[in-house]
Structure 1
Amino acid sequence: MEAEQGIPVPQRYWAIVVIALGITLAVLDGAIANVALHTIARDLHASAAASIWVVNAYQLSITISLLPLASLGDRIGYRRIYTAGLALFTVASLGCALAHSLPALAMVRVVQGFGAAGIMSVNTALVRTIYPANLLGRGVAINAMVVAVSSAVGPTVASAVLSVASWPWLFAINVPIGLVAVFGAMRALPTNPGHNTPYDFLSAAMNAIVFGLLIFTIDGLGHGEATLGLLAQTLGLILVGYVFVRRQLTRTAPLLPIDLLKIPVFALSIATSICSFCAQMLAYVSLPFLFQNVFGFDQVQTGLLITPWPFAIVFAAPISGILSDRYSAGVLGGVGLIALTIGLVLLATVGAHPAPFDIAWRMALCGAGFGMFQSPNNRQMLSAAPRERSGGASGMLGTARLTGQTIGAALVALIFGVVPDKGPSVTLAVAAAVAGLASAVSFMRLRTSGGRGRITAETGR
């Protein structure tokens, strides 16, 4: 029961600040590079198509290494993985700032992505060791709020930096913050007992192949890649994926946490997360096109109109986090996702000449609904897993988010290719449908033993 008590105040506060700093750097760096691609391509004398690898290299290395690093965290301790990830991310950020060619920048971005994966893979597992069971929802809410806000304000931060400095400063600014976070991690983060089970390097390699092929296949479908190439990738994904899953079924603590997916409430929470982040990404990518190309707002106005979404999350996530310590994630998440669905429908049908206020309150409704869903959902995933499998649960949480975002981005490209004239409005309608599906899946948790009624402080379940 000692592990359920968390760590004492004020160490708890310093620890969560370190977690927030690390996750802000990792998530923000995934968003800011998009804004700078044109400038980077021009300065490094590269094509626009080649410059996409500045983004893809980072996302790919994160996705393929999240679960292996989470599994390693269960074995050697979450603090070690988190601190090493922060240090690697910080050093790679300096490398990105000093890169003088696109291939060099892309290579260092791969390394930076591995560092970010170290941060993301175990951050929620660390939250579980920092907070006592009866306050876990509050810690998860802070984490979820930081992730959501960092994703949303990334383009705004990038635009602000680029307005006064060159693109290398987007990466150089990480270095002093990263150094402070590394020092704080060594001082404030708690340790957890590991185990001596040999690490499954073969499963780690197969995991990288499976998720790499999954990303390339989804992205290729969205961008109209040649059918033969897609079929080859899909076949490879199925074959390697089959062998990978069969191997995981023979493990007591599998790298791909199939043991956790056998817990109904955990599996439903993962499904809810994938659908919700897919809906969010569908909206995030399409809304700037709607605001600028259809409604005629400029870039500054577009940034201001997007702001109510993350601003509402800042208020909703802590409230839902507190409520999640007492009430079911199935209800809280379901109600929040209904609000998101309604907000997306209202945005899709706002009319041809809306006033800024008409857009702003709809955006705020979407953000409040998303914030109401995210904290309870993440808490449910963590508390449904045995404490010694917190790393696996944390890795799956990050993997679900990235998978949903990847699918959402690919769907935007596909929809814009099929119906270019009505792309933004159709995309928002699809986002609303996916959010509605996520709400239905969330309510399904009420039928499981882990998803009903009030949550007891003693067990966190």
Structure 2
Amino acid sequence: MDASDGLPTPRRYWAIAAIALAITMAVLDGAIANVALPAIARDLNASPAASIWIVNAYQLAVVISILPFASLGDILGYRRVFQAGLLVFTLASVACATSHSLVGLTLARVLQGFGAAAIMSVNAALVRFTYPHRLLGRAIGINALVVAVSSAIGPSVAAAILAAAPWPWLFAVNLPTGTLALLLASRALPHTERSPHPFDTPSALLNALALGLFIVGAESLSAGSALGSFALAGGLVAGFVLVRRQLSRASPLVPVDLLRIPAFAFSVVASVCSFSAQMLAFVSLPFYFQDVLGRGQVETGLLMTPWPVAVAVMAPIAGRLADRFSAAVLCGVGSVVLSIGLALLALLPTSATSVALGCVMALCGVGFGFFQSPNNRAMLGSAPRARSGGAGGMQATARLLGQTCGATLVAFSFRASASHGPTLALGLGACFAAASAVVSTLRHHRQVDVQAPRPG
């Protein structure tokens, strides 16, 4: 069945359930390993520094392969790439659970990252073909809700599993969940038309080199390593060659053709700015609460909770509103609220009560949730349906680049000032959120926003 304008019910609900289960696993496994790193390092006789690769290997594999998998989705069909990614992710989870060495676990995490990238790369495209265009904002809101809840419960899920079982069970639980998602996907996901263009292997390798060197270089620079400059320069050179190669192609792996669409380009820039602001806050806030405000670990965990909870509440509401009102206006309002919230966090006195801090954290979550769904809708809806894979891949890449930029800037802030680093990072986050608001305002003034439902 060709999903020309969404799937009928109840098949639509089974399809979104399969997508939600897969995304939940991919997001959770990007975070739960952090909690278990000390236990894993002890069990595998690895140093803390070496054990960090259990996290980095997964993240790097995801970043360098999202756009190639998105291109494969256009060529082979989004359903096939999603199912293949889900199968690889599930089997790699079993390999993680049965690993007995740091090298074996790291290699399994690389495979797991490739599976997660395949899922994430075509996730948005599948959502677009699962729901009718008039309900696209609602569908994206549901997707944002799943991501927000998964991010919020990640540490809690990891702590609960580790309280009852050893660390391999963090990965073993993906076997029944992945099997259920595969069964649902095989019966419910939409079939889509395929693009006849061949896969561009040289561009895929250049993409991996550019993004890999850029991220490694940025992280090395933030740690004070001079080698980071060479890696960063190499990434920029590879990126320049990659973009030059893509300009002459009808269906480029890096969607430079979509970046010529103003609505899409504005949405990508706004997304990078907003996710940079979010990551600047998420990485610096635990240090801010404990080192600056003198709160304990338990209270810090509780104070971090209102933000993702507010995102989970606002994302589906904002998604529904985006089906009726200008996404540019909604994004601008959300970014302004986020900027105000981050500025308030940086300016609050050390005597601020936990209730006041919790309210400001919720305000930040409301702003980010109000931005995310409309912006994703504008990004996806502005691309031709035949390029949904490229649009979804770019959406995920913009999010990951923003998060990488934010985390790197936190490290620079801490190096710039040991005592005021967290406050400086929050101030930078407020600036990035304000920049996102400016970009959204420019998009509205140029009337490039996707507003009313229209054929893809």
CA contact (8 A) 2:334 2:371 kept: yes
2:252 is the alignment partner of 1:254:
yes
Deviations 1:288-347 (A, max 9, x none): 112223333333322221111111112111111011011111100010011111111111
Query: C-alpha displacement at 1:32, in angstroms?
Result: 1.2
After the TM superposition, which of the residue ranges 304-313 and 159-168 deviates more from structure 2?
Answer: 159-168
2:31 is the alignment partner of 1:58:
no
CA contact (8 A) 2:3 2:190 kept: no
CA contact (8 A) 1:415 1:426 kept: yes
Alignment of structure 1 residues 290-301 onto 2, 5 Å: 290-301=288-299
Residue type of the alignment partner of 1:434? F
Provide the residue aligned with 1:458 in structure 2.
Answer: 454
CA contact (8 A) 2:19 2:123 kept: yes
Alignment of structure 1 residues 35-434 onto 2, 5 Å: 35-226=35-226, 229-434=227-432
Distance 2:260 2:401 in 1: 20
CA contact (8 A) 1:67 1:395 kept: yes
Alignment of structure 1 residues 2-13 onto 2, 5 Å: 3-13=3-13
CA contact (8 A) 1:70 1:122 kept: yes
CA contact (8 A) 1:153 1:307 kept: no
Distance 1:121 1:433 in 2: 29
Distance 1:325 1:63 in 2: 30
Query: C-alpha displacement at 1:110, in angstroms?
Result: 0.2
Deviations 1:21-70 (A, max 9, x none): 11111011111111211221111111111111011100000000000000
Deviations 1:171-227 (A, max 9, x none): 11111111111111111101101022221111111111111111111111211111x
Consecutive unaligned residues in structure 1, runs of 5 or more: none
Distance 1:345 1:242 in 2: 36
After the TM superposition, which of the residue ranges 390-399 and 39-48 deviates more from structure 2?
Answer: 39-48
CA contact (8 A) 1:79 1:126 kept: yes
Query: C-alpha displacement at 1:260, in angstroms?
Result: 0.2
| TM-score (normalizing by structure 2) | 0.97
Distance 1:130 1:293 in 2: 47
After the TM superposition, which of the residue ranges 52-61 and 147-156 deviates more from structure 2?
Answer: 147-156
Consecutive unaligned residues in structure 2, runs of 5 or more: none
Distance 2:420 2:163 in 1: 32
After the TM superposition, which of the residue ranges 85-94 and 140-149 deviates more from structure 2?
Answer: 140-149
Distance 1:39 1:355 in 2: 34
CA contact (8 A) 1:156 1:303 kept: no
CA contact (8 A) 2:3 2:191 kept: no
Distance 1:3 1:183 in 2: 19
Deviations 1:358-407 (A, max 9, x none): 11111110111100000000000111100000000000000000000011
Distance 1:365 1:234 in 2: 36
Distance 2:408 2:307 in 1: 22
Distance 2:388 2:104 in 1: 36
Q: How many pairs were matched up?
A: 455
Distance 1:298 1:171 in 2: 30
Residue type of the alignment partner of 2:325? Y
SS where residue 140 of structure 1 aligns? helix
Deviations 1:70-96 (A, max 9, x none): 000001100101111111101111111
Query: C-alpha displacement at 1:4, in angstroms?
Result: 4.6
CA contact (8 A) 2:206 2:242 kept: yes
Distance 2:287 2:174 in 1: 30
In structure 2, do the counterparts of structure 1 residues 166 and 292 end up closer, same or farther at CA, with 3 Å as the change threshold?
A: farther
Distance 1:222 1:26 in 2: 27
CA contact (8 A) 1:350 1:358 kept: no
Deviations 1:245-302 (A, max 9, x none): 1110111000000000011111110000011111101111111112223333333322
Query: C-alpha displacement at 1:3, in angstroms?
Result: 4.8
Residue type of the alignment partner of 1:164? A
SS where residue 455 of structure 2 aligns? coil
Residue type of the alignment partner of 2:65? S
2:17 is the alignment partner of 1:21:
no
Which 4+ runs in 1 deviate beyond 3 A? none
Query: C-alpha displacement at 1:242, in angstroms?
Result: 2.0
SS where residue 30 of structure 2 aligns? helix
Query: C-alpha displacement at 1:152, in angstroms?
Result: 3.0
Deviations 1:421-456 (A, max 9, x none): 12221111111111111111111111334317xx22
SS where residue 349 of structure 2 aligns? coil
Query: C-alpha displacement at 1:458, in angstroms?
Result: 3.4
Distance 2:221 2:408 in 1: 7
Distance 1:448 1:371 in 2: 24
Distance 2:95 2:435 in 1: 42
Of all paired residues, the percent bearing the same amino acid is: 56
CA contact (8 A) 1:384 1:450 kept: no
CA contact (8 A) 1:40 1:167 kept: yes
CA contact (8 A) 1:329 1:376 kept: yes
Distance 1:388 1:274 in 2: 24
CA contact (8 A) 1:153 1:310 kept: no
Distance 2:235 2:219 in 1: 14
CA contact (8 A) 1:34 1:55 kept: yes
Residue type of the alignment partner of 2:57? A
Residue type of the alignment partner of 1:117? A
SS where residue 163 of structure 1 aligns? helix
Distance 1:65 1:182 in 2: 21
Q: CA RMSD in A?
A: 1.4
